[in-house]
């Protein structure tokens, strides 16, 4: 029963963190990709598929297609990252010094969306100017966040929105482990927690905390004052409110759990003390009985 309560409290904390992270998902998100499909379901796209799709989008599209060609904003062409990603996949080792599994993350891919439909964007000069500001801000934020790990930024427009796609690769440490410090804030935090001896639950908590900070920084640096095109300027407030409420509930549950543990511990100690007292009384009674038997003989 006690373990069930502890797990419930942990789930509330995890859900609170997740709620904060997804608040900006429609405007910016990042994900990781591996050399091979994931063993769990085999459905996740691989590095070659992701880079190949972007390379395909970079060429002129056929007549009548809705997508426009992708434009390289900065860095190398997406398809040129494949050899480096392959090298990481075959060279890097895990924390135990073993070769990485084929479904281990090696490429970070992200996308930032400017949520103004093409039919409006093409006629509205103001939206075009705002997009220019937004684009500069996004690229600046990407450089500050990912540093030299940022390898490529590509601009693309489909039937929905204009988007900036970006790609980052981790470096290798001296012991051939993937170094996520500039390539992925969440994985970097998780890696630090692992190296500090944290358990899996603590590592996940550090991961989501770092992702929440990343999204907060994107909001502050890029879209905070760009007006109604990004929804309410106080976009994150509902998520933050819910997060605080859930964290408060989790804290209250933790306090109740601590009180329960203390109460149970006190009851167990009382029971142990009573047991010791009964044992002492029994020992004394046995001694008296043995003495009486000796006198009788």
pLDDT of residue 42: 53
pLDDT at 222: 93
Using DSSP's 3-state secondary structure scheme, residue 253 falls into helix
Helix (H, G, I), strand (E, B) or coil at 72: strand
Sheet holding 105-114, edge to edge: 28-34, 105-114, 162-168, 150-157, 71-75
Write out the H or E segment, with its range, that includes residue 163.
strand 162-168
Rounded to an integer, what distance in angstroms lies between the CA atom of residue 21 and that of residue 29?
Answer: 9
Strands 171-172 and 150-157, bridge-based pairing: unpaired
DSSP labels, 24-61: GTTTEEEEEEESS--TTTS-SPBHHHHHHHHHHHTSPP
**What pLDDT does residue 184 have?**
96
At 16 the pLDDT is 35
pTM: 0.68
The C-alpha atoms of residue 153 and residue 111 are separated, in whole angstroms, by 9
Residue from 217, 214, 20 nearest 108 by CA: 214
Q: What is the pLDDT along the chain (297 residues), one digit of tens a residue?
A: 433 443 343 333 333 333 333 345 568 999 999 988 765 555 678 898 888 888 666 544 433 445 567 889 999 999 999 999 999 999 999 988 899 988 899 999 999 999 888 888 889 899 999 999 999 999 999 999 999 999 999 999 877 889 999 999 999 999 999 999 999 999 999 999 999 999 999 999 999 999 999 999 999 999 988 887 776 544 445 555 656 676 677 777 777 877 887 888 888 888 888 888 888 888 888 888 888 888 887
Parse the chain into domains and list their residue ranges.
Answer: 16-247
Beta bridge partners of 119: none
d(CA 79, CA 154): 12
Question: How many other C-beta atoms can be found within 10 angstroms of the C-beta atom of residue 274?
Answer: 10
Backbone torsion region of residue 161, taken as left when φ is above 0, otherwise alpha when ψ lies between -120 and 50, otherwise beta: beta
């Amino acid at each position: 029963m006690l373990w069930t309560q502890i797990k419930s409290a942990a789930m509330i904390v995890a859900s609170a963190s997740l709620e904060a992270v997804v608040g900006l998902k429609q405007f910016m998100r990042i994900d990781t990709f591996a050399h091979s499909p994931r063993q769990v379901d085999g459905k996740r796209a691989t590095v070659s598929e992701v880079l190949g799709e972007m390379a395909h989008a970079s060429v002129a599209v056929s007549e009548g297609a809705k997508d426009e060609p992708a434009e390289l904003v900065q860095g190398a062409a997406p398809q040129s990252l494949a050899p480096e990603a392959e090298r990481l996949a075959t060279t890097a080792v895990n924390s135990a010094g073993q070769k990485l599994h084929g479904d281990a993350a090696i490429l970070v891919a992200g996308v930032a969306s400017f949520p103004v439909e093409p039919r409006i964007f093409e006629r509205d000069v103001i939206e075009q100017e705002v997009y220019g500001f937004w684009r500069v801000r996004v690229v600046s934020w990407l450089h500050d966040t990912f540093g030299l790990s940022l390898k490529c930024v590509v601009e693309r427009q489909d039937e929905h929105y204009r988007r900036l796609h970006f790609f980052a690769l981790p470096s290798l440490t001296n012991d051939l482990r993937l170094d996520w410090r500039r390539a992925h804030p969440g994985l970097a935090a998780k890696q630090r927690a692992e190296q500090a001896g944290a358990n899996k639950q603590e590592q996940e908590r550090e991961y989501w905390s770092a992702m929440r900070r990343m999204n907060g920084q994107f909001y502050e640096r890029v879209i905070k004052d760009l007006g109604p095109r990004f929804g309410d300027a106080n976009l994150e407030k509902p998520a933050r409110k819910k997060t605080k409420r859930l964290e408060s509930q989790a804290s209250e549950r933790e306090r109740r759990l601590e009180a329960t543990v203390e109460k149970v511990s006190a009851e167990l100690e009382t029971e142990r003390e009573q047991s010791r007292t009964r044992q002492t009384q029994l020992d004394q009674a046995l001694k008296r009985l043995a003495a009486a038997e000796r006198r009788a003989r």
